[in-house]
C-alpha cells in the first residue's frame, strides 16, 4: 500500500478525475442495462435483481433522474407488455426507492397519464390493465404529494396517523374519503387481473400468468396498510359524528372489506404467492363501528416478505471506490500511456506494484460483496423480526386499548349508578313533600267540612226560627210589617253567609260546587218559607225577644260589611297601582312603536334601493340576452355569404315549418315585451321569448340559405335577399330593445312581414302534387286501396285459371314446375290481400284517432305528404301484382323468362314493405292492427322468398346443363379457349357495369318524377353530395337478382322511398 506514494501527484490527480467520470459512466451503464432487462416485451415477470439494482440506483443518486431519463425513451405505445412492466417497476421504485423519487415522478405525471389514456382506448388485454395501473400510480402520487406524512411505502405509526388526522372532523372526513379512493384503485387493479386469469383458466406457474400476478405483491402491501388506516379513521369519525351521517362511509367500507377479503383469499390459494409473500388473514366480518369497544378487537394485518435466496448475479457497487473498476483495464492503461508514454517492453517495479494493488483491490471487492450479501441477509432477517415485534407491539397496544375501553365502560357504569342513586334520593324527597302536601290538604278539607256542618246547623236554626215566627205573628198590620222587616234581614243575612262560604271555598272547586248546590236548595227552602210568611196572619208571643236577637245579628253583619269595605279600598289602591303600571307600559310601547316606525322607514328606503337594483339587474340581463341574440342573428346572416355553407341543403317543407314557428314566436315575444314594459321588475318572460325568437329566426335564415342552394336561380336570389332582410329587421328590433327610451316603442311588424315573405317563398318552392287536389286526397286513398284489393283478387283468379290451363296442356316435370310456381304465386297473392286488408283497417284506426272533430277528407288533406305516400304505395302494390301474374303467365306458356318472375317477386315485396312503412308512420305502438300488419308483412316476405325459391328450382329442373369435357384438347387449344373465355367475361362485366349505371339513372329519374328527389326527409340542412337513405328500404328478399352489392354503385338514390 505504501508503494502508491511513489506515483507522481499529477498522475494521481489525473487518475482521480477519470475515476469519477468512469464511475458515473459505469453507474449509467449498469442502470441502463438493469432498466432494459427489467422492462422488455417478454411476457415474464420482472426479475427481482434488476428491480433491486434500479432501486439502489435511486438511493445512490438520491432521486430518479437517471431512471426517468431512460424510461421516457422506452417505446411504451408500441407494446402493452412493455407498458405493464414499466408500471410495475415504477410502483416498486415509488415504494422502495429514495424519498426524492416521489417529486421526480410528480414531474412526469403527464407521461404516465398519456400512456394510460393510449392503452385505455385500445381493446387489448394488457392495454386495459395498463390503463387501470396508470390510474393507480397517479392516485398514489397525488395522495403522497398531498400528504407528505405518509411515505410511498405507507408505513407510519399510529401516532403519526393521529397527528395527520388532527382533531378537525372535516379533515378526518376528507382523509378517510381519500384513503377509500386509494384503496378502490388498488382493488380495481387486482380484480381486473383475476378477471383475465379466470377468463383464460391460467396456471400461476406459467410465466405469462406470473407477468400479470407480479405487481399484485406491491398491491397486497399497500392494501394491508390502507385497510388498517381506514379502520382507525372510521372509529375516530364515529366518535365525533352521528351514526346516520356515516352510513354511506360504512356501506363503502363494507364493500371494500368484502372485495379485499376475496382478493387475499384468492392470492393465498395461488402457489406463486406462497413462496414470495405471507398474506395476512382478515376477520370473518367487518368491524362494528357502532360499538367503540370493537376497536380493541381490530388486529393490524402484517405482510411478511420471506428471506430471498441469493441470486447468481454480478456484485453491485454499493459504496464509492476511488480506484478504477476491473471491468475497464483499458482506461487505466490509457492513463499510464498518456502519462509515461508507450511501454518499451521492460516492466519496472511500479508496474508490479500496480498489478499487486489491482489484485488486492479485486480481492477486497470480492470480500466486500460477500459482506454485502451477508449484510442483506441479516437485514432481511432483522426486518422479519421487526415485523413480528411490531405485530406483538400492535397486539399489546390493542390489549391496552381494550383495557382503556373497559375502564371507560366501568366509569360510565359507575356514573350511571350514581345518577340512579341521586334520582332515587330526589324521588324520595318528592314523595315526602307529596305526603306533607296530602296531609295539609286533608287537614284543610276537614276544616272546610266542619265549617260546612256549622253552616248547615245555622241554616236549620234559622228555618226553625222562621217557622216559630210564622206561628207567633198576629193578625195586626204592625206585626205584619215587623215580620216583613225580619224577612228582609233574614234574606240579607243568608246572602252574607253565602258570600262568606263562597270566599272560603275558592281553593276547592269541587267542594264549592257542592256548597253552591246545597245553598241553592236552601234558597228554594227559604223562598218557600217566605211564601208561607206572606200568608201568615198571626205573630208569636216572644216576637220582641226575637227582634232583639235579630238586631244583635244585624250589628255583627254591619261590622262585617265595614271590614269588606276596607278590603275594597285596599283593592282599589292595587287597581290604581296597576293602572299606573299599565300607563308606563303604554308609554314604553309608544316609544317602541316610534322606533319600529323609524326602522320601517329605513327598510322601505332599502327596499326602494333594492327595487332599483333589481330593475337595473333585470335590464342588464335583457341587454346581455339582446347582445347574445344579435351575435346569433349576425352569425346566421353571415352564413348567407359563407362559401363553406354552399354544400349544405334543406327542404322547402322544413323551411316552411321553421318560418312558421318563428312567426308564431313573435306573438310570445310581443306578450313578453308588453309584460316587461308594464312591470320592469321581471324580465323572465321577455328573455325567454327573445331567446326562442332568436334561435328560430336564425334557424329560419340558415335553412333559407340551405334551401336556396337547391332552388332555381330566381327563387334562390329572392329567398336569400328575403332572409337577409329578415335578419336586418330583427337586428333593428333588437337595437330598439337596447335603449330604455326606445324600448317601449319597439314593434315587430317589419319582422313579421319579412317572415311572411320567407313563408311565401317556401310555399312556392314546395314540390307540387301530380294531379290531385288536397280535397280529393281522402277519396283517392280509398279508391287506390279498393283498386289494389281488386287487382290482387283478379290476380288470384287469373293464377287459378293459368293453373287449370297448365294441367290440361302440360305434363311430367313441366307440369310439376308450373304447379309449384303457380301455387307459390297464389300463396303470395293471398298474403298480400290479407296485408292490404289489415293496412286498410289500420288506416281507419289512424284516421279515427287523429282527426278529432275534423272530417276524414280534412285529415287526409292536413297530412297530404303521408296521404300521397299511401297512394303511391297502393299503386305500387297493385301494379306489382299485375306484373307478377303476367310474368307467371309468360313463364307457364314458355314465352317469358324465369328471371322476370324473380324480379317481379322482389318488386312486389318491396312495394308491400313500402305500404307497411307508410301505414305505420302515424300508428300507435300499442295498436293491435299494427302488430297484425307487421305479422302480415313478414308473411309476405316469406311467400316472396318461396316464389323465388320455386322459380329457381324449376329453372334448374327444366334447363339442361352441358357437361364440360376438355379431355380431348391440347395445351395450346386449352390456352386459346381460356383466353376467349376471359374476353367474354370482360365483355359481360363491361355490359353489367353499363346496365348498373343505366339502372341508377332510371331510379334517379323515377325519384325525380315522384317528387322525392330533394333534400333529406327530416328537413335539416345537410351536405348535398351524401343524402340520407330513406326510412323505407327494400327488404332482403326484394333485392334485384344479382344486384345485392352493386346497388351501392347505382348513384346516391335509395331503392324505394315513401312520399309522405
Q: What is the pLDDT of residue 557?
A: 77
Distance CA 172, CA 170 (A): 5
Whose cell is 386499548? That residue is: 401
Q: Per DSSP, what are the bridge partners of residue 649?
A: 1022
Q: How far is CA 145 from CA 138, 148, 544, 743, in A?
A: 11, 6, 121, 58
Residues with Cβ within 8 Å of 374's Cβ and at least 6 positions away in sequence, in order, are none
List C-alpha distances in Å: 592 to 215, 477, 587, 600, 1032.
Answer: 78, 72, 9, 12, 83
Q: Which residues of the chain have pLDDT under 70?
A: 1-19, 198-205, 307-348, 466-484, 486-487, 490-491, 493-494, 497-516, 518-519, 522-523, 526-527, 529-547, 767-782, 809-811, 850-858, 860-865, 959-967, 1006-1060
Three-state SS at 739: coil
Residue 257 host element (H or E): helix 247-269
Contact 779, 857 (CB under 8 A): yes
C-alpha cell at 464: 226553625
All residues at 6 or more sequence positions from 207 whose CB lies less than 8 Å from its CB, including other chains: 43, 44, 45
Question: DSSP label at 769?
Answer: P
Q: For residue 440, with 0-12 CB atoms within 10 Å meaning exposed, 13-18 middle and 19 or more buried, which class applies?
A: exposed
Least Cα distance to 913 among 832, 1025, 795 occurs for 832
Q: Give the count of beta carbons closer than 10 Å to the beta carbon of residue 1010.
A: 16
Q: Are the C-beta atoms of 316 and 373 separated by less than 8 Å?
A: no
User: Residue 827: which residues within 8 A CB-CB, separation 6 or more?
Assistant: 943, 946
The helix (run of H) or strand (run of E) holding residue 648 is strand 648-649
pLDDT in tens, 305-339: 776 544 444 444 433 333 333 333 343 344 334 44
Per-residue pLDDT at 185: 92
Closest by CA to 19, choosing from 321, 292, 240, 257, is 321
Radius of gyration of the chain (CA): 56
Distance, in Å, from the CA atom of 106 to the CA atom of 96, rounded to the nearest integer, reads: 16
Contact 462, 494 (CB under 8 A): yes
Share of the chain residues as helix, strand and coil, in percent rounded to the nearest 5: 80, 0, 20
pTM over 0.75: no
Q: Which residues pair with 473 in a beta bridge?
A: 539
pLDDT for position 1015? 34
- Please name the residues in contact with 678: beta carbons below 8 A apart, sequence gap of 6 or more: none
| Residues whose CB is less than 8 angstroms from the CB of residue 694 and which lie 6 or more positions away in sequence, other chains included | 628, 629, 632, 633, 730
Amino acid at each position: 500500500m505504501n508503494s502508491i506514494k511513489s506515483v507522481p501527484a499529477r498522475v494521481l490527480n489525473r487518475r482521480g478525475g477519470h475515476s469519477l467520470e468512469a464511475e458515473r459512466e459505469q453507474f449509467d451503464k449498469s442502470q441502463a442495462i438493469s432498466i432494459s432487462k427489467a422492462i422488455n416485451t417478454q411476457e415474464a415477470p420482472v426479475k427481482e435483481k434488476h428491480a433491486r439494482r434500479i432501486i439502489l440506483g435511486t438511493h445512490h443518486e438520491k432521486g430518479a433522474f437517471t431512471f426517468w431519463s431512460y424510461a421516457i425513451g422506452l417505446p411504451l405505445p408500441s407494446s402493452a407488455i412493455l407498458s405493464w412492466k414499466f408500471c410495475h417497476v415504477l410502483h416498486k421504485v415509488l415504494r422502495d426507492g429514495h424519498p426524492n423519487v416521489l417529486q421526480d415522478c410528480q414531474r412526469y405525471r403527464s407521461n404516465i397519464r398519456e400512456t394510460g389514456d393510449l392503452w385505455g382506448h385500445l381493446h387489448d388485454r394488457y392495454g386495459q390493465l395498463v390503463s387501470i395501473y396508470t390510474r393507480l400510480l397517479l392516485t398514489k402520487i397525488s395522495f403522497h404529494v398531498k400528504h407528505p406524512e405518509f411515505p410511498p411505502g405507507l408505513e407510519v405509526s399510529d401516532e403519526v396517523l393521529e397527528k395527520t388526522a388532527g382533531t378537525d372532523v372535516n379533515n378526518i372526513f376528507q382523509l378517510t374519503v381519500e384513503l377509500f379512493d386509494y384503496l378502490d384503485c388498488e382493488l380495481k387493479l387486482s380484480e381486473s387481473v383475476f378477471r383475465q386469469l379466470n377468463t383464460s383458466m391460467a396456471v400461476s406457474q406459467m410465466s405469462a400468468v406470473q407477468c400479470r400476478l407480479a405487481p399484485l405483491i406491491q398491491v397486497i402491501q399497500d392494501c394491508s396498510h390502507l385497510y388498517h388506516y381506514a379502520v382507525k379513521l372510521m372509529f375516530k369519525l364515529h366518535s365525533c359524528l352521528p351514526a346516520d351521517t356515516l352510513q354511506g362511509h360504512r356501506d363503502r367500507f363494507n364493500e371494500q372489506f368484502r372485495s379485499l377479503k376475496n382478493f387475499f383469499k384468492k392470492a393465498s390459494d395461488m402457489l406463486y404467492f406462497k413462496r414470495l409473500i405471507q398474506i395476512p388473514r382478515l376477520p370473518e366480518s367487518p368491524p362494528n363501528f357502532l360499538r367503540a369497544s370493537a376497536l380493541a378487537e381490530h388486529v393490524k394485518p402484517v405482510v411478511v416478505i420471506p428471506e430471498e435466496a441469493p441470486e447468481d448475479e454480478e456484485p453491485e457497487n454499493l459504496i464509492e471506490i476511488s480506484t478504477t473498476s476491473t471491468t475497464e483495464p483499458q482506461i487505466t492503461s490509457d492513463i499510464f500511456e498518456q502519462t509515461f508514454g508507450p511501454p518499451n517492453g521492460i516492466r519496472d517495479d511500479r508496474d508490479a506494484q500496480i498489478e499487486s494493488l489491482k489484485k488486492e483491490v479485486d480481492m477486497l471487492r470480492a470480500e466486500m460483496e460477500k459482506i454485502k450479501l451477508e449484510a442483506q441477509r441479516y437485514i432481511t432477517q432483522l426486518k422479519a423480526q421487526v415485523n413480528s415485534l411490531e405485530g406483538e407491539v400492535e397486539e399489546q397496544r390493542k390489549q391496552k386499548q381494550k383495557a382503556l375501553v373497559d375502564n371507560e365502560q366501568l366509569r360510565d357504569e359507575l356514573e350511571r349508578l350514581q345518577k340512579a342513586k341521586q334520582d332515587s334520593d330526589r324521588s324520595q324527597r318528592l314523595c315526602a313533600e307529596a305526603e306533607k302536601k296530602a296531609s295539609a290538604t286533608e287537614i284543610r278539607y276537614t276544616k272546610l267540612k266542619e265549617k260546612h256542618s256549622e253552616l248547615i246547623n245555622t241554616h236549620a236554626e234559622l228555618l226553625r226560627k222562621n217557622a216559630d215566627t210564622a206561628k207567633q205573628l198576629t193578625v195586626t198590620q204592625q206585626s205584619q210589617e215587623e215580620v216583613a222587616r225580619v224577612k228582609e234581614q233574614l234574606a240579607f243575612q243568608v246572602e252574607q253567609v253565602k258570600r262568606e262560604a263562597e270566599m272560603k271555598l275558592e281553593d276547592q272547586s269541587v267542594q264549592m260546587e257542592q256548597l253552591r248546590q246545597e245553598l241553592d236548595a236552601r234558597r228554594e227552602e227559604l223562598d218557600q218559607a217566605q211564601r208561607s210568611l206572606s200568608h201568615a196572619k198571626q205573630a208569636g208571643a216572644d216576637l220582641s225577644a226575637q227582634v232583639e236577637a235579630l238586631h244583635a245579628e244585624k250589628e255583627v253583619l254591619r261590622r262585617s260589611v265595614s271590614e269588606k269595605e276596607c278590603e275594597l279600598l285596599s283593592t282599589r289602591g292595587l287597581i290604581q297601582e296597576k293602572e299606573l303600571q299599565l300607563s308606563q307600559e303604554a308609554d314604553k310601547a309608544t316609544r317602541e312603536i316610534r322606533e319600529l316606525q323609524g326602522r320601517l322607514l329605513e327598510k322601505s328606503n332599502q327596499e326602494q334601493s333594492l327595487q332599483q337594483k333589481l330593475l337595473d339587474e333585470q335590464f342588464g340581463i335583457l341587454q346581455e340576452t339582446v347582445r347574445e341574440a344579435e351575435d346569433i342573428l349576425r352569425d346566421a346572416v353571415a352564413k348567407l355569404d359563407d362559401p363553406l355553407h354552399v354544400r349544405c341543403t334543406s327542404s322547402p317543407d322544413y323551411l316552411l315549418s321553421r318560418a312558421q314557428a318563428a312567426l308564431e314566436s313573435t306573438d310570445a315575444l310581443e306578450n313578453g315585451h308588453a309584460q316587461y314594459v308594464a312591470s320592469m321588475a321581471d324580465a323572465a318572460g321577455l328573455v325567454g321569448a327573445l331567446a326562442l325568437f332568436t334561435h328560430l329566426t336564425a334557424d329560419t335564415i340558415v335553412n333559407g340559405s340551405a334551401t336556396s342552394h337547391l332552388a332555381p336561380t330566381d327563387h334562390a336570389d329572392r329567398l336569400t335577399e328575403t332572409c337577409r332582410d329578415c335578419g336586418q329587421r330583427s337586428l333593428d328590433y333588437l337595437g330598439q330593445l337596447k335603449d330604455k327610451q326606445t324600448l317601449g316603442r319597439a314593434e315587430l311588424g317589419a319582422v313579421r312581414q319579412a317572415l311572411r315573405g320567407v313563408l311565401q317563398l317556401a310555399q312556392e318552392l314546395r314540390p307540387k302534387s301530380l294531379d290531385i287536389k288536397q280535397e280529393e286526397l281522402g277519396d283517392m286513398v280509398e279508391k287506390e286501396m279498393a283498386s289494389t284489393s281488386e287487382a290482387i283478387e283478379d290476380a288470384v283468379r287469373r293464377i287459378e285459371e293459368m293453373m287449370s290451363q297448365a294441367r290440361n296442356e302440360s305434363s311430367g316435370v313441366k307440369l310439376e314446375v308450373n304447379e309449384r310456381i303457380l301455387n307459390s304465386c297464389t300463396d303470395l297473392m293471398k298474403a298480400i290481400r290479407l296485408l292490404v286488408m289489415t293496412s286498410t283497417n289500420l288506416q281507419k284506426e289512424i284516421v279515427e284517432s287523429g282527426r278529432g272533430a275534423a272530417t276524414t277528407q280534412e285529415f287526409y288533406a292536413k297530412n297530404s305528404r303521408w296521404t300521397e305516400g299511401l297512394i303511391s304505395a297502393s299503386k305500387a302494390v297493385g301494379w306489382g301484382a299485375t306484373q307478377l301474374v303476367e310474368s307467371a303467365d309468360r313463364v307457364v306458356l314458355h314465352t317469358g323468362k324465369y328471371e322476370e318472375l324473380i324480379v317481379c317477386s322482389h318488386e312486389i315485396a318491396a312495394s308491400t314493405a313500402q305500404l307497411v312503412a307508410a301505414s305505420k308512420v302515424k300508428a300507435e305502438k300499442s295498436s293491435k292492427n299494427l302488430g297484425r300488419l307487421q305479422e302480415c308483412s313478414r308473411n309476405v316476405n316469406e311467400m316472396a322468398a318461396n316464389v323465388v325459391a320455386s322459380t329457381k328450382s324449376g329453372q334448374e329442373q327444366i334447363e339442361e346443363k352441358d357437361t364440360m369435357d376438355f379431355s380431348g384438347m391440347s395445351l395450346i387449344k386449352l390456352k386459346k379457349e381460356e383466353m376467349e373465355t376471359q374476353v367474354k367475361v370482360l365483355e359481360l362485366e363491361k355490359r353489367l357495369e353499363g346496365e348498373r349505371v343505366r339502372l341508377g339513372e332510371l331510379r334517379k329519374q323515377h325519384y325525380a318524377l315522384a317528387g322525392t328527389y330533394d333534400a333529406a326527409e327530416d328537413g335539416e340542412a345537410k351536405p348535398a353530395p351524401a343524402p340520407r337513405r330513406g326510412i323505407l328500404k327494400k327488404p332482403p328478399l326484394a333485392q334485384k337478382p344479382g344486384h345485392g352489392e352493386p346497388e351501392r354503385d347505382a348513384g346516391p338514390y335509395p331503392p324505394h322511398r315513401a312520399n309522405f
